[in-house]
Amino acid sequence: MTQVKQINTYVKQIEAANDAINSIVCGDFNDTPTAPSISYLLSSQDLTYFDSYHVVHPNASGFTIPSNNPNAKIDYVFYTHQNELIPASSETVMDGMIVNNLYRSDHLGVMTQFVFSPNATTELESREFKILDGFTNPYLSNSPIEFELYSPSQVNVNLYNSAGQKLKLLLSKRMGAGRHQVSFDATHLAGQFLFVKIEISGRVETVRLVTLP
Q: Based on the domain organization, do 6 and 105 belong to the same domain?
A: yes
Measured at the alpha carbon of residue 184, what is the angle toward residues 183 and 186, in degrees to the nearest 5? Answer: 135
Q: Based on the domain organization, do 151 and 102 belong to the same domain?
A: no
The residue out of 74, 91, 116 marking a domain boundary is 116
Domain limits for position 68: 2-116
The residue out of 116, 134, 159 marking a domain boundary is 116
Cis upstream peptide for 152 (omega within 30°): no
Mean per-residue pLDDT of the chain = 82
Question: Is 148:158 a contact under the CB 8 Å cutoff?
Answer: no
> Who's near 44: CB < 8 A, 6+ residues apart?
8
Measured at the alpha carbon of residue 160, what is the angle toward residues 156 and 164, in degrees to the nearest 5? Answer: 120
Q: Based on the domain organization, do 47 and 139 belong to the same domain?
A: no
Give tens-digit pLDDT for 125-141.
445 688 887 778 888 88
Give tens-digit pLDDT for 74-106.
999 998 876 667 787 888 887 555 556 666 678
Q: Based on the domain organization, do 78 and 151 belong to the same domain?
A: no
Q: Based on the domain organization, do 111 and 198 belong to the same domain?
A: no
Total count of domains within the chain: 2
CATH code for the domain of 40: 3.60.10.10
Greatest Cα pair distance, the chain, in angstroms, is 68
CATH code for the domain of 172: 2.60.40
Whole-model pTM above 0.75? no
The residue out of 116, 147, 163 marking a domain boundary is 116
